Amino acid sequence: MIGRSPRGGSAATWTGLSLCALALTGLVASSLPEPAHPEPQRAGGPLASDQYCPPEGDRDTDAVDTAARAASTRVSDPGAGEGSEVEITPEKAAEYEERLRDALAAEHDREIVEQTTVPVAVHVISAEDGRGDVTDQRIQEQVDVLNKAYEGGYALGSEGTDTGFRFELSDVTRTVNDAWFSDFDRHRDTIRSELRQGGPETLNVYTTQLGSGLLGYSTFPQDYAEAPDADGVVIAHDTLPGGTRDRFNEGHTGTHEVGHWLGLFHTFQNGCQSPGDYVDDTPYEREAAAGCPEGRDSCPELPGLDPVTNFMNYSDDACMTHFTQGQTERMAEHWAAFRSGPARV
């Protein structure tokens, strides 16, 4: 925790995911924006428009230069398609928070699990010429990256925490379909309805080609009940470990999007305005980070430097190192409320 007013009503509440304006319907996405956009976006929640919406206000030259360097975006999906927005609006984030609080209050005697193993079904969508046909080895390496990230293995010093989430590969499906591979967004409803496995507790990951610099997108836990077939994470095949996506090929697009799937907003949700990302121990951040601008302070009147190394930012993969204790608690709350049913330690 840092010295400032609680963001989520109480120090024990946490929620998160959001994007300001890219295009993805039903999932949260990540990608690197064109020079006109400030940062690479990673998944995080409902999408509503087809542009990125940075916080209002003056921007200094450094901020503009940083924005110009961005080239990939990770979005949130409740709208992963044309006319949908990548960035979750303050209103949508508040709605998700209210639904989380209501769900937890309805079962106030529910215990929050300390450790959870999540089954992972990976669906590889590739082209007939072999593009996108990621190997079993790279798929396992992606799962290994998730496990290391969520157990705090990339954290430096005392900055991170073990979230208690572990991931276990349960199945890999392979579909060769040029139309699906070249335009996943157009066919996404059919793809997910045909391939998705398990219930709310199963992480379904779709690897494919994503256009316009998009890295990936994901749904939020709150949306499962109304659209179970859409639940899951979509990531560009070249972002898996060993891929060819420059600066984003170490597997942390997957780490980021799974954070959305577990209920986290971007660290820059709501900019410098309360309640930020609804997590008390991530400093406020005016806009997404590009590259690795350590020491940046985009909300100078508020405590703390920007959380540029947090997995829920848009920094380069090599720059991302950790989740916080607050984010850990928020993910556990979302799991108990929407993904596990009655939870027992």
Provide the annotated active-site residues. Answer: 257
Q: What is the 3-state secondary structure (H, E, C) of 148-201?
A: HHHCCCCCCCCCCCCCCEEEEEEEEEEEECHHHHHCHHHHHHHHHHHHCCCCCC
Query: Containing H/E element for 97?
Result: helix 90-106
Task: Extract the tokens encoding 195.
Answer: 């391939």
Residue 154, CA atoms < 13 Å, CB-side half-sphere: 23
**Strands 214-218 and 233-236, sheet pairing:** antiparallel
Bridge partners for 233 per DSSP? 205, 218
277: helix, coil or strand?
coil
Q: Give 3-state DSSP helix, strand, coil % of the chain, rounded to 5.
A: 30, 15, 60
